[in-house]
Amino acid sequence: MTLNEFLNMGGYAFYVWTSYGLALAVLLINVILPLRQRKKLLGDINRAAKRVRRNT
Amino acid sequence: MFNNFFHKMASPRYFYNISGHLIPWLAASCALLFLAGLYYGLVKAPPDYQQGDSYRIMFIHVPAAWMSMFIYVVMAGAGAIGLIWHIKLAEVMAISSAAIGAWFTFLALVTGSIWGKPMWGTWWVWDARLTSELILLFLYLGVIALYNAIDDKRTAARAVAILALVGVVNIPIIHYSVEWWNTLHQGPTVTKLDKPSIHLSMLIPLLLMAFAFKLYYAFVVLMRARCEVLERERHTVWVRELAEKK
Amino acid sequence: MTSDSLTRAFALLLKRDLLLAMRHRAEMINPLLFFVLVTSLFPLGIGADPILLRAVGPGVIWVAALLAALLSLEGIFRSDFEDGTLEQFLLSSHPVSVLVLAKVLAHWLITGLPLLLISPLLGVLLGLPGDAIIILLVTLALGTPVLSLIGAVGVALTVGLRKGGMILSLLVLPLYVPLLIFAASAVDTAAAGLPVTAHLSLISALLVLALSLSPLATAAALRISLS
């Protein structure tokens, strides 16, 4: 299979690549979201702890 | 010895640490399996004599659909364990699975619809499997909505466990009734969402992708569960120390 | 507790709910009116072609029944929740699932039964043949209790929430799908003059399943909502 044939997917390029692209997007989203949330949570907890220490 | 293991497993802190070590390994093996599956599915496997190259969508659609069902059962099971034995970690695993399961259901629906377009000429058909997946999506969204609507997260987890159990009992009934309904109202074209006569060259990438998706779920659910644990245990010493270290 | 006092508790609860409903008789009309109204909207929306109406009639009437049941569900536990009676139920020494059954029966008598009684009129409005109307009655008689039973689980899960009503539809409607499929198909099949024993057996099975399992789920959900 040449690269061109591969990309063309027998004429079904739009359907196949949209599906795979969508799958990639979903998989990436579900990895990135928890990563960001963890950073945010740790940041929030840190800030809250600092505030408590400052006030006591 | 088992008692000791379960006792430790029930500790959120232990879980947080262990999962932190597991995740990179799971992610790495998952990536390898995806690469292998994609290679065998997109490059090595020959075109189908009826559907040409469009059948390759199956390598996404079918595993996604399998995962959507599998995750719901896991969610209901974890919910039941949390409900019966009051194990916090089970509750965490249940709610961490919900969003992931919903995403897989969505992916199965959209890829199923895209696969159908070149075959039937329309973007949506009320095919038995697609219709069941649609209802499954609503079941997932119900769980997520209910969890978010209840303020106390412990109460929310228990309510959602009941909902998931009611759902899991209904899923076979819904599937059967939709299958039956579909045979009555058979559209002009026979559904082509069934796997084409499954050749070994197509079975291998399918199984590789299915395994890859399972590993993916494993490490992603752990990632979400860790966030949930941090949130629930935010007032404990170990979490505060962890936050300060960062 | 002796089964005698349980029976008495059941009967008392049933009588109490029916009495309360009778005092607000006007409210009982609402789901009924909704049922008739929604069904009547369809000819206005899709045209009055009798063949079309007869084809969609069973499904339309059943969907309208689902929606009317959904609308009336809130009432099962809302007032009891607000005045604290619900907590008393949970504290009593009687199994909560039996008390739930009494409340659901009352709810069905107040909302489901009227729907059942007015359905022949709607069948006529949409041009259903006589055989189909009889089966419509049977499916509604078997099905509306299922609607109340399954709905009760959803209400129990959302009774403590502020905007519980909106989530309720999302929770309950997917669970109604099998009943909708079998019931509408039964009426359709009857309209074609074919036997419907299979359909009715399936609906009866759903009813038995709902009767045995949903009071337990409702009781568990109530405990959680009120904790």
pLDDT in tens, C102-151: 999 999 999 999 999 999 999 999 999 999 999 999 999 999 999 999 99
Contact state of C177 with B165 under an 8 Å Cβ cutoff: no
How many domains is chain C built from?
1
The DSSP annotation for C7-44 comes to HHHHHHHHHHHHHHHHHTHHHHHHHHHHHHHHHHHHHH
Residues of A in contact with B43 (CB under 8 A): 1, 6
Q: Are C38 and C59 in contact (CB under 8 A)?
A: no
Q: Which helix (H) or strand (E) holds C169?
A: helix C164-191
Tally B–C CB contacts below 8 A.
69
Question: Mean pLDDT of all residues in chain B?
Answer: 89
Select from A10, A27, A38 the Cβ nearest to the Cβ of B227.
Answer: A38
The answer for A 17-46 residues in CB contact with B (under 8 A) is 18-20, 22-23, 26-27, 29-31, 34-35, 37-38, 41-43, 45-46
Amino acid identity for residue C21 in this structure: A
The helices-and-strands tally (H runs, E runs) of chain C is 10, 0
Contact state of C175 with B155 under an 8 Å Cβ cutoff: no
- For a pLDDT cut of 90, what percent of chain B falls above it? 63
Residue with tokens 């599906």: A19
What is the Cα–Cα distance from B188 to C203, expressed in whole angstroms?
A: 29
Measuring CA to CA, which residue among C79, C218, C157 is closest to residue B150? C157
Query: CA of B140: which chain C residue's CA is closest?
Result: C171
Q: Are B115 and B127 in contact (CB under 8 A)?
A: no
Contact state of B114 with A26 under an 8 Å Cβ cutoff: no
Tell me what pLDDT residue A4 has: 82
CA C1 to chain centre: 30
What is the Cα–Cα distance from C221 to C224, expressed in whole angstroms?
A: 5
Q: Which two tokens stand for residue B230?
A: 């941090």
Q: Which two tokens stand for residue B245?
A: 């270290």
What residues of chain B have any CB closer than 8 angstroms to a CB in chain A?
Answer: 42-43, 47, 52-54, 56-57, 60-61, 64, 99-100, 103-104, 106-107, 110-111, 114-115, 117-118, 216, 220, 223-224, 226-227, 230-231, 234, 239-240, 242-244, 246
What residues of chain C have any CB closer than 8 angstroms to a CB in chain B?
Answer: 153, 157-158, 160-161, 163-164, 167, 170-171, 173-175, 177-178, 181-182, 185, 202, 206, 213, 217, 220-221, 224-225, 227
Q: What is the ipTM of this complex?
A: 0.90
Task: Please give the average per-residue pLDDT across B170-180, as a whole number.
Answer: 89
- The pLDDT-based confidence of B244 (bands split at 50, 70, 90) is confident
- Residues, chain A: 56
Point out which residues pair with B52 in neighbouring strands: B48
What is the Cα–Cα distance from B12 to B15, expressed in whole angstroms?
A: 5
Tally A–B CB contacts below 8 A.
91
Query: CA of B167: which chain C residue's CA is closest?
Result: C175
Residues of B in contact with C202 (CB under 8 A): 177
- The pLDDT-based confidence of B223 (bands split at 50, 70, 90) is very high
pTM as predicted: 0.91
Q: Which residues of chain C have pLDDT under 70?
A: 1-2
Owning domain of residue C203: 3-225
Task: Report the alpha-carbon angle C212-C213-C219, nearest 5.
Answer: 115
CA C203 to chain centre: 14
Tell me what pLDDT residue B2 has: 57
Whether pLDDT at B132 is above 50: yes
- The pLDDT-based confidence of B188 (bands split at 50, 70, 90) is very low
Task: Please give the average per-residue pLDDT across B237-242, as a whole number.
Answer: 89
| Half-sphere exposure (Cβ direction) of B115: Cα atoms closer than 13 Å | 25
Residue with tokens 């070590």: B21
Query: CA of B135: which chain C residue's CA is closest?
Result: C174
Tell me what pLDDT residue C1 has: 52
- The pLDDT-based confidence of B6 (bands split at 50, 70, 90) is low
Amino acid identity for residue B126 in this structure: W
What is the Cα–Cα distance from B18 to C197, expressed in whole angstroms?
A: 57
Helix (H, G, I), strand (E, B) or coil at C159: coil
Tell me what pLDDT residue B5 has: 59
Task: Report the alpha-carbon angle C31-C37-C42, nearest 5.
Answer: 135
- The pLDDT-based confidence of B189 (bands split at 50, 70, 90) is very low
Query: CA of B227: which chain A residue's CA is closest?
Result: A38
Tell me what pLDDT residue B221 has: 97
Residues 6 or more apart in contact with residue C142 via CB below 8 angstroms: C200, C203, C204, C207
Q: Are B160 and B118 in contact (CB under 8 A)?
A: no
Q: Which two tokens stand for residue B85?
A: 């034995």
Measuring CA to CA, which residue among C98, C143, C103 is closest to residue C119? C143
